[in-house]
């Protein structure tokens, strides 16, 4: 049996940061379980973040009107993606588990990780118009967002000054990871390590290590099954009437953003529903 | 009286794109109103997206443990930010209105715009721990996200396959723009221009031009006033009990993410509430 593989997409500038420690803990915990662990240390790699023509080798399909997504799709088919993108795609293909390790910048991923998302998750390779969401290309892979915050947990609640963390996570977890088919595991959130004393920081890292020991048995977060939607232009890619009816008597919406005008299902993007 | 100024932060690779046309329409409409219009054409400028040590001139405060936000704050105070960042900050300082013009990439801004956000909105310059949200540094400025989508509008609804667009907009509009104090005007969303016939595209651009004629009289979107929150560590930066009580009988939460476990106020991040 082939050795299993994990990929850590890591973005911090300093090797002595808490994020670096969280990465090291993950490398250790997964290696101990027999995994081959690949790390993409994006700053160290000087990973290019911007989506440009340089991402494509050879002639453009339509140099008069450059449309990134279209050009990338063709370049992927023809094996003409830039080497840095092709390498990341090869790592991603091998990985059963992908961990994104980063500090939250402006309530989202740092630009260098957004660049990895924009450039590596090429149409054809990471999704097609037929293969997305729970029919997605990466449906046999798991993904985790693991990140540090500058603020404390109570700021990120439905009555906190920054609002519900579930809302912040939705575009990344549903719009990027779930869109490509990933089984999205609960995010690993390190609340404000910069203002936590050393023992607290150690405890956070220990909890992360322990979680990773059981990570492959974890239940993923809940998203709406694509069969709930009429995925045709006439149907508007909207909920099927019978599903809408079924949910009419439910107290909560389906997910954080497919809320149907109802209260959001609590912790939809942070905690897996136990069945 | 000094001439008023607008800044367009623009991100598309092609000068013949719909995004370029939307930028040109804005330049024209605002120039006609007597505005000086600055354009930051990020791809043409080869704007650096990643947050690195190169953003700081001279010695680092703590080279052993590089913390981007801390180093940038000190470098801003000392006038030691890299020239490209200092130039963007000078443009931003002059501008009464900032328009971000971009194609939606993975349900958010392209990495090159995230890089502009991460690098230009330095602590001290764009916010302080005292000056944020409605007490924010840029409270006399207006901002608009103007963007194109690949999908149709019905996909981005509370019962659409991608979920409620209001949820997607929250991290950017509240977490970035409102955080810095901007009066956030309704987003200008160009739904799926790539699959719209030429007359439809022209009509979209005309509507954008017309909107801009009245843009300085527009009411901004509604956010939670910071006075609603107990902005102390003991208070957890959470809603004051008396405000919570006041909202107990309301049918909706306060905003998209400060929802208090209630249904989201409809279109909170897309439509200004008429008083």
Do A102 and A12 meet the contact criterion of CB atoms below 8 Å apart? yes
Residue B98: name the closest of B138, B51, B42 by CA.
Answer: B138
Residues in B touching A238 (Cβ below 8 Å): 154-155, 157, 159-161
B167 lies within 8 A of chain A by CB: yes
Q: Which of B100, B171, B248 to mutate to test the interface with A (most CBs of A within 10 A)?
A: B171
pTM of the model: 0.97
Residues in A touching B9 (Cβ below 8 Å): none
List pLDDT tens digits, range B33-46. Answer: 999 999 999 999 99
ipTM of the complex, rounded to two decimals: 0.97
B236 has a pLDDT exceeding 90:
yes
Do B170 and B163 meet the contact criterion of CB atoms below 8 Å apart? no
Query: Are A233 and B152 in contact (CB < 8 Å)?
Result: yes
Torsion of the alpha carbons at A250, A255, A260 and A262, rounded to the nearest 10 = 60
Q: Is B7 exposed, middle or buried (0-12, 13-18, 19+ CB in 10 A)?
A: buried
Q: Return the pLDDT at B275.
A: 64
Largest CA distance in chain B: 58
Using CA of residue B259, residue B264, residue B265, residue B270, what is the dihedral sign?
positive
What is residue A176's DSSP assignment? I
Per-residue pLDDT, averaged over B49-63, amounts to 97
Task: Tell me whether strands B229-230 and B238-239 are parallel, antiparallel or unpaired.
Answer: antiparallel
Q: Return the pLDDT at B80.
A: 98
Q: How confident is the model at residue B129 (pLDDT cuts 50, 70, 90)?
A: confident
CA–CA separation, B26 and B22 (whole Å): 6
**DSSP bridge pairs for A99:** A8, A144
Query: Are B160 and A258 in contact (CB < 8 Å)?
Result: yes
Q: Return the pLDDT at A129.
A: 87
CA–CA separation, A16 and A178 (whole Å): 32
Q: Return the pLDDT at B3.
A: 83
Do B98 and B182 meet the contact criterion of CB atoms below 8 Å apart? yes
Q: Which of A163, A175, A192, A254 to mutate to test the interface with B (most CBs of B within 10 A)?
A: A163
Distance from CA of B237 to the nearest CA of A (A): 5
What is residue B185's DSSP assignment? P
Q: Return the pLDDT at B1.
A: 57
Q: Return the pLDDT at A248.
A: 93
Q: Return the pLDDT at A21.
A: 98
Query: Are B106 and A117 in contact (CB < 8 Å)?
Result: yes
CA–CA separation, B116 and B66 (whole Å): 20
Distance from CA of B3 to the nearest CA of A (A): 32
Least CA distance to B225: which residue of chain A?
A161
Q: At A179, phi and psi to the nearest 5?
A: -55, -40
Question: pLDDT tens digits, chain A, 275 residues: what are they?
Answer: 578 999 999 999 999 999 999 999 999 999 999 999 999 999 999 999 999 999 999 999 999 999 999 999 999 999 999 999 999 999 999 999 999 999 999 999 999 999 999 999 999 999 998 899 999 999 999 999 999 999 999 999 999 999 999 999 999 999 999 999 999 999 999 999 999 999 999 999 999 999 999 999 999 999 999 999 999 999 999 999 999 999 999 999 999 999 999 999 999 999 998 76
CA–CA separation, B148 and A243 (whole Å): 30
Do A214 and A32 meet the contact criterion of CB atoms below 8 Å apart? no
List pLDDT tens digits, range B166-224. Answer: 999 999 999 999 999 999 999 999 999 999 999 999 999 999 999 999 999 999 999 99
Residue ranges of E strands in A129-272: 142-148, 183-184, 188-190, 229-230, 238-239
Residues in A touching B262 (Cβ below 8 Å): 263
> Tokens 């354009």 identify what position?
B39
Q: In chain B, positions 34-73, which contact chain A (CB-CB < 8 Å)?
A: 42-43, 46-47, 49-53, 64-69
CA–CA separation, B77 and A28 (whole Å): 40
Q: Which CATH architecture has domain A5-221?
A: 3-Layer(aba) Sandwich (3.40)
Distance from CA of B102 to the nearest CA of A (A): 12
A253 lies within 8 A of chain B by CB: yes
Domain ranges in chain B are 5-221
Residues in A touching B162 (Cβ below 8 Å): 174-175, 237, 257
Least CA distance to B155: which residue of chain A?
A237
Helix axes A83-94, A111-120, angle to 10 degrees: 80
């Amino acid at each position: 049996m082939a050795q299993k593989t994990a990929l850590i997409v890591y973005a911090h500038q300093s090797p002595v940061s808490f994020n670096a420690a969280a990465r090291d803990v993950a490398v250790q915990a997964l290696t101990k379980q027999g995994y081959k662990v690949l790390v993409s240390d994006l700053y160290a790699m000087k990973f290019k973040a911007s989506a440009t023509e340089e991402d494509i080798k050879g002639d453009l399909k339509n140099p008069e009107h450059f449309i990134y997504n279209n050009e990338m799709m063709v370049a992927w088919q023809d094996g003409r993606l830039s080497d840095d993108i092709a390498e990341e795609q090869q790592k991603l293909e091998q990985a059963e588990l992908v961990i994104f390790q980063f500090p939250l910048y402006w309530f989202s991923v740092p630009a260098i990780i957004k660049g990895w998302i924009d450039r590596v998750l090429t149409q054809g390779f990471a999704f097609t118009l037929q293969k997305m969401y729970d029919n997605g290309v990466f449906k046999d892979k798991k993904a985790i967002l693991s990140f540090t915050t500058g603020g404390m947990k109570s700021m990120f609640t439905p009555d906190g000054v920054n609002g519900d963390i579930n809302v912040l996570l939705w575009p990344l977890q549903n719009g990027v990871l779930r869109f490509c088919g990933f089984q999205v595991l609960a995010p690993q959130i390190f609340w404000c390590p910069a203002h936590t004393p050393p023992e607290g920081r150690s405890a956070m890292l220990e909890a992360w290590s322990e979680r990773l020991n059981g990570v492959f048995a974890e239940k993923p977060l809940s998203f709406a099954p694509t069969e709930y939607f009429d995925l045709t232009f006439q149907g508007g890619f909207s909920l099927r009437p019978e599903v809408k009816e079924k949910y009419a008597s439910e107290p909560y919406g389906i997910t954080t953003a497919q809320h149907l005008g109802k209260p959001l299902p609590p912790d939809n993007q942070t905690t897996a529903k136990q069945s």
